[in-house]
A and B are shown apart, each in its own frame.
Chain A
Amino acid sequence: NAGVMQNPRHLVRRRGQEARLRCSPMKGHSHVYWYRQLPEEGLKFMVYLQKENIIDESGMPKERFSAEFPKEGPSILRIQQVVRGDSAAYFCASSPPNSYYGYTFGSGTRLTVV
C-alpha cells in the first residue's frame, strides 16, 4: 500500500502560469482533502472531495483555484494565473468513508512562484 501519493514534490512556476498538483489517495480511500501550509503556519483547509463531487470548498479562494476528483485518476488541484502569494506547501490527505481516525497525508507539493 503506497500511501497517499502527491506529485510533483516541488513545482516552480512563473507568475501568470498555471499550476497543477496531483494526489492519488490510499487504496480504498474515497475521500480527499486539500490543505495549504504557508511558511511557519499550520495547515489551512481548502477543499473536500469525494469521487466526482465537491463536498465542501469553504476554504478555497473564490478565484483562480479549482479542484476535481474524477471517477478515474488522481485528484487535481489547479491554480490558474499564479501569483507570488500562492507560494506554499500544498498537502493532500485521504480517508475511507465514515472516518473518525484522522486522515493519511501525502508528503506535499511545494509550489514556488517566481
Chain B
Amino acid sequence: AQTVTQSQPEMSVQEAETVTLSCTYDTSESNYYLFWYKQPPSRQMILVIRQEAYKQQNATENRFSVNFQKAAKSFSLKISDSQLGDTAMYFCAFMKHEGNTPLVFGKGTRLSVIA
C-alpha cells in the first residue's frame, strides 16, 4: 500500500517570500503520479500542480514548482512570491499509473501567509 507523509503540520511565510512544503511517499510502484492540492477556507480542493514520475523535469505552474527526487521518494512544493491568497491547507497526493485509481493523500500542511 502507498503512504504519503507531510511532516510539517503548520508553516508560515511573509508575503512576497518563498516557502517550501515537504512531502515524502512510500511505494513499490515504478511509475505513478504525484499531486499537490490546495484547500482554502472555502473547503474547495484545488489542483495546484501535477508530476509524472517517469519525467525527470520538475513541473512548474507560474509561482508554484516542485522538487521531485524519485530515488529519495520526495516531492516538495515551492511557492515563490507568496500572496495572501495562498493561505490554505496543502495536501500532497499519490496516484498509481493505471489511472482512475484512488488518490492517496497526506495529512496536509497549513500554510499562513503573513502581510
The residues of A with any CB-CB pair to B shorter than 8 Å are: 31, 33, 35, 40-45, 48, 56, 59, 89, 91, 93, 95, 97-105, 107-108, 110
Contacts and interface: CB of A to CB of B under 8 A. Distances in A.
A45 B102 contact: yes
B103 interface: yes
A101 B95 CA distance: 10
B85 interface: no
B99 A45 contact: no
A48 B44 CA distance: 20
* Range for the number of chain B residues in contact with chain A: 20 to 34
Interface of B: 4, 6, 33, 35, 37, 42-47, 50, 52, 91, 93, 95, 97, 99-108
Contact of A99 (B52, B91, B100, B102): B100
B26 to A, nearest CB: 15
Given A42-B6, A45-B103, A102-B50, 12 more contacts: A33-B102, A40-B107, A41-B107, A42-B106, A43-B103, A48-B101, A56-B102, A93-B45, A102-B47, A105-B44, A105-B45, A105-B46
